[in-house]
Amino acid sequence: MADTVAGLVGSFRHVDSLLEAIEQLRAAGYRELQALSPVPHHAVDEALEKPVSPVRYFTLAGCLLGCLTGFTLTIATSLYYPLITGGKPIVSIPPFLIIVFELTILFGGLLTLGGMLLNARLPMVGVGPAYHPRFSEDQFGLWVRCADKDYETVTSLLKNAGAEEILRAGQETAL
Amino acid sequence: MEQEREKSWASLPQVSPRWRRNLGALLGFGVIFFLALRLDPLRGWQAYLINFLFWGGMAQGAVVFAAIYHVVGGKWGPSVRRCGEGMVAFLPVSFALFLPLYFTLDRFLAPARDLNPARGAWFDPRFIFVRGGLGLGLMTVLSLFLVYYSVRLEVGWAQERKLRPRRWLYEWITDGWQGEEVESQRCQRGMDVLAAGVLLAYSVTYTFMAFDLIMSLDPFWYSSLFGGYYFISTFYLGLAGLAVACVLVQGRLGPSAVTPSQLSDLGRLLLGFDLTYVAMIWSQYVVIWYGNLPEETQFIILRVWTMPWAIFSWSVLALSVFIPFVIFLSQQAKRVPKMVFAVGVLIASGLWLERYVLIVPSLWHSDSIPLGWVEIGVTAGFFGAFGLSYLFFLGRFPVVPFAPSGAQSAALEIKGAGKSAVEA
Amino acid sequence: MSQLTYSQVDRDIIGVMQAPGWRYYAILVADLIVLAWGIYAWRYTVQRGLGVWGLTHPVMWAMDITNFVFWVGIAHSGTLISAILFLFRVRWRASIYRTAEAVTVFALFTAGLFPIIHLGRPWVFHWLLPYPQFGGLWVNFRSPLVWDVFAVMTYMIISVLFFFTGLVPDMAVVRNRSSGWRQKIYAFMAQGWQGTDRQWRHYKAAYVFLAALATPLVISVHSVVSWDFAQTIVPGWHSTIFAPYFVAGAIHSGLAMVIMLLIPLRRTFRLDAYITQEHLENLAKLIILTGLIVGYAYAVETYIAWYSNNVPEWQRFTYQVTGEYAIPFWIMILFNSLVPLLFFAKRIRTSTPWLFIIAILINIGMWMERFVIIVTGLAHEYDPHSWGLFIPTWVDISITLGAFAWFFLWFLLFIKFLPVISIAEVKEQLPPPMKGRDGDE
């Protein structure tokens, strides 16, 4: 338990310092990094080399599910209640396509949100051990997961890159 | 930036004589075929009308893209814009090709007018010809002037640095050149006005072209969205042609001329207009289907649910709507030149068939399907003319244009924040 | 020129949410009074039946459906600005899209009232939904009114989703700066957001796809609403151009409403650094475009009315121009297609008073447009002996005003409880703090 939470969090005022720190730490072999920032940065994502988000598959699945639901709902229920209205066929595809379209978008949207929440591990109860409110304001954080014995090395690497403050993860989980 | 511009002048594609020969041959082929069609004038003229609308529309659509790009202050693809501008070279040719239609408008419109005489003098073929000619003439002039201003900056810059040998065309374009500073302002201002003018004139002219040359062929049918549908369809066609042209240019000049991300953006535009196009079709279809009024439904039923025209309609949907949609859902596909080329060709083919299926069933009343050597021949002829005009432009003006386009920079910054974050 | 910093952005935007002064409460109270009156008018209707409205043969749909279409229309500009402009990578949308999205959500809350309000028996409104029941009837999927249910419901759900997804990073900022019961609520809405790279990555991906879904949705919704009319064979209603015409009109009125709300907001809370003149000018330029499309539609409708040789169609057109409802008709033409052309003049589109006035005129014009289309269409159908008029009663008008009050109530609450400008996106537009640039600060 203690191992998974352990690590150091460096806070930076500038994005290029953060990027430098990421580069150096990765070069030194510390790959379990997580950056915290008030805004997303393309450069940070690239430096961390994390995989592309799979949310798109949730969207696709949602759309297909919605499409299928739309057709099933309209066609099956119309056949079950075969009332002729306006002289139109019982299974009249043009109006049904509109229902199908709306449900495609609805389910696509709902599953996209679900995909995001699932992948981002939201909602969380409370916040993680590396978080500090200033990471939502104007500073950037870098959480390096490492064992106790590496603390010296990591601290010096972070300081070289320009970290302003270095804390142990778990301290200052403030709100 | 300077180096890039110089490079783009240096790398003006030498139009290979083989291309010229082949296109010229196609053109000749077309002319001969057309003349031979005195045996079956309806078929020949039908094919002529379809191709006139198709190729002229494609060229105009591409120029409209350039106009929109300017109006919104786009920055993502100046070379794409120039490829679009290049198609303006076909517009005067297209206008000239409109003129022979005078001889056939009566043949096309008389049957409808006889069945529905209430339409009166507005539908006199001569009047239709005159207003069509005026509209097309206006479009041609506005488009030429728009591209003139765009190209003037380019040529003037090159002349100042003596990058290219003098030619009468360059001399004429930079007549009265007053130096980079002044001209830059003046040309931007010119483009501002003309881009807006092109867009306004386009919507009106193409609406009436659709109403007069396509919708009126049927004695009773009408659809208020038809004009709007047609100018969206033509713009979509222009984008497809532009995509094909950009891939070809990239093949010739390398990926720095048209980058993968620019192709990707073009692919996104195609996807977006694919959906817009199908929305235009659908908006007409569902209203006509539901109202079920015979004077409206007969047009649709003939084309969508009756053989043989049904094959054409569904092909249009498959080629121009469904297949491009499925392919371009993938982000990767939009960056691959071959895919973009293929999709562009598919869309263009679909839209050719679209014009075919809109026009022919109103005119052709015998049992056979008029699709054969005649149509191929006339299409080849138009393609030859189009290709030659486009190559004329590409051979004289570089693809990477001068200044970032757009009248005012549309990128707004929060006051006081300074330049946009492009560093790192 | 002072440089905006991240913390300054936080301060400025959260500053709007501070405890309000007496003026806010005064406006709130006035709004609540109008709303209460509107609710009273509806209660009056439910007790006595729809006859207390001006509805009578042949005009059986009038201000009720006008209000519905009007409010659904207003909702469209929000999605345009937040989703469509996002997909086109238009940068200036960043500081205004939150307010525009709020307008969307609240306009949908308002529009959603009317399908219930205009029912003869509102207590059985649930019959509109497809659920298993024993009445032997089923939802008629062939009816445009049911398409409406699906479209508007989908739009409402997706808009709310989009709105709250976009709020999550901002809720973290607000959570950090609040206390007590407020903090608990914001913490819940922030869903434990920390701004880790993982969260941002998935957030950005989800945002792109939601925007990509919302775009065809928004076009389909007002197309479906227009088909409430176009699918009939009422002369003047049965027209294929209705779908894009209504969508353009919706965006037209929505943009006008956004301008109408942004200008006082900006003035009152001194947000000039965020909602700049260029933002308002760009909105004005978009209004030129939508105004031209609406004008085009008016012209084409006229042309086709003549071209079609359809006698009822043509007489209905002349009735619009010269009949009892000629004044609303000419207001519609003037305010919707001609007045926005004033924005071609830079002097006018950069002047806040002009922007505000023209925005109001456009909203009036767009309301009139729906009224004219609906009422003249029904007043003058095929059979001259069935022709009749609609004359609004005090109940109609009160409910209309009550709906406006309902909308503004939500907006007033929004200003104080949620950040009116997206903190995260505004920060994203600023140059990131770089060691090299800042030097010693």
CB C196 within 8 A of CB A41: no
Question: Is C389 a residue whose pLDDT tops 70?
Answer: yes
pLDDT of residue B401: 64
Compare all CA atoms of chain B with the CA of C4 and give the residue at the minimum distance.
Answer: B417
Task: Say how many CA atoms lie within 13 Å of B207 toward its Cβ.
Answer: 19
The per-residue pLDDT of chain A, averaged, comes to 84
List beta partners, residue B315.
none
Region of poorest pLDDT, from B170-184, B191-205, C219-233, C341-355: B170-184
The 3-state secondary structure of chain C reads CCCCCHHHHHHHHHHCCCCCCHHHHHHHHHHHHHHHHHHHHHHHHHHHCHHHCCCECCECCCHHHHHHHHHHHHHHHHHHHHHHHHHCCCHHHCCCHHHHHHHHHHHHHHHCHHHHHCCCCHHHHHHHCCCCCCCCCCCCCCCHHHHHHHHHHHHHHHHHHHHHHHHHHHHHHHHHCCCHHHHHHHHHHHCCCCCEHHHHHHHHHHHHHHHHHHHHHHHHHHHHHHHHHHCCCCCCCCCCCHHHHHHHHHHHHHHHHHHHHHHHHHHHCCCCCCCCHHHHHHHHHHHHHHHHHHHHHHHHHHHHHHHCCCHHHHHHHHHHHHCCCHHHHHHHHHHHHHHHHHHHCHHHHCCHHHHHHHHHHHHHHHHHHHHHHHHHHHHCCCCHHHCCCCCCCHHHHHHHHHHHHHHHHHHHHHHHHCCCCCHHHHHHHCCCCCHHHHCCC
The distance in angstroms from the start CA to the end CA of chain B is: 19
CB C250 within 8 A of CB C287: no
User: What percent of chain A has pLDDT above 70?
Assistant: 91
pLDDT of residue A110: 96
Confidence of residue B37 (pLDDT cuts 50, 70, 90): low
Interchain CB distance below 8 Å, C140 and A41: no
Question: Least CB-CB distance to A16: which of B290, B292, B424?
Answer: B424
The 3-state secondary structure of B177-245 reads CCCHHHHHHHHHHHHHHHHHHHHHHHHHHHHHHHHHHHHHHCCCCCCCCHHHHHHHHHHHHHHHHHHHH
Coil vs helix vs strand at A82: coil
pLDDT of residue A8: 83
Q: Which residues contact C4 (CB under 8 A, 6 or more apart)?
A: B414, B415, B416, B417, C273, C430
Choose between A82 and B40: higher pLDDT.
A82
Interchain CB distance below 8 Å, A103 and C194: no
Choose between A27 and C26: higher pLDDT.
C26
Highest mean predicted confidence (pLDDT) among A150-164, B156-170, B209-223 = B209-223
Choose between C333 and B373: higher pLDDT.
C333
Q: Rounded to the nearest 10 degrees, how much is the dihedral formed by the CA atoms of A109, A112, A118, A120?
A: -120
Residues of C in contact with B287 (CB under 8 A): 227, 230-231, 238-240, 242-243
Residues 128-147 of C with CB under 8 A from A: 130, 136-144, 146-147
Mean pLDDT value of segment C194-223: 92
pLDDT of residue B309: 95
Nearest residue to C296 (alpha-carbon basis) of B208, B235, B139 = B208
pLDDT of residue C89: 87
Residues of B in contact with C223 (CB under 8 A): 279, 283
pLDDT of residue A26: 85
Choose between C438 and A53: higher pLDDT.
A53
Distance CA A34, CA A141 (A): 8
Question: Is B413 a residue whose pLDDT tops 70?
Answer: no
Compare all CA atoms of chain B with the CA of A47 and give the residue at the minimum distance.
Answer: B424
Helices B226-253 and C277-307 cross at an angle (nearest 10°) of 130
Torsion region of B420: left, alpha or beta (phi above 0 gives left; psi -120 to 50 gives alpha): beta
Q: CB of B422 within 8 Å of any CB in chain A? A: no
Residues 292-331 of B with CB under 8 A from A: 292
Question: Is B376 a residue whose pLDDT tops 90?
Answer: no
Mean pLDDT value of segment C255-268: 94
Nearest residue to C412 (alpha-carbon basis) of C31, C95, C18 = C31
pLDDT of residue B159: 79
**Residue A37 DSSP symbol:** -
Region of poorest pLDDT, from B297-311, C46-60, C421-435: C421-435
Helices B373-394 and B90-98 cross at an angle (nearest 10°) of 140
Can you read off the two tokens belonging to residue C318?
A: 């002349």
pLDDT of residue A19: 87
Nearest residue to B251 (alpha-carbon basis) of B164, B334, B340 = B340
Mean pLDDT value of segment B131-158: 92
Counted across chains A and B, CB pairs separated by less than 8 A come out at 14
Question: Is B1 a residue whose pLDDT tops 80?
Answer: no
Distance CA C157, CA C412 (A): 22
Residues of C in contact with A35 (CB under 8 A): 196-197
Choose between B6 and B306: higher pLDDT.
B306
Mean pLDDT value of segment C160-184: 89
CA distance B26 to chain C (A): 40
Residues of A in contact with C191 (CB under 8 A): 117, 122-124
Can you read off the two tokens belonging to residue B362?
A: 């109103």
The per-residue pLDDT of chain B, averaged, comes to 86
Q: What pLDDT digit, counting tens, does each position of B329-362 carry?
A: 888 899 999 999 999 999 999 999 999 999 999 9
How many CB atoms are closer than 10 A to CB B225? 25
Mean pLDDT value of segment C188-210: 89
Region of poorest pLDDT, from B295-309, B359-373, C392-406: B359-373
Highest mean predicted confidence (pLDDT) among A131-145, B165-179, C148-162 = C148-162
Can you read off the two tokens belonging to residue B208?
A: 């009436």
ipTM for this prediction: 0.92
pLDDT of residue B414: 24
Question: Is B144 a residue whose pLDDT tops 70?
Answer: yes
CA distance B237 to chain C (A): 20
Can you read off the two tokens belonging to residue C157?
A: 């759900």
Exposed/middle/buried for residue B11 (C-beta within 10 Å: 0-12, 13-18, 19+):
middle
Interchain CB distance below 8 Å, A138 and C434: no
Counted across chains A and C, CB pairs separated by less than 8 A come out at 204
Q: What pLDDT digit, counting tens, does each position of C272-299 carry?
A: 989 999 999 999 999 999 999 999 999 9
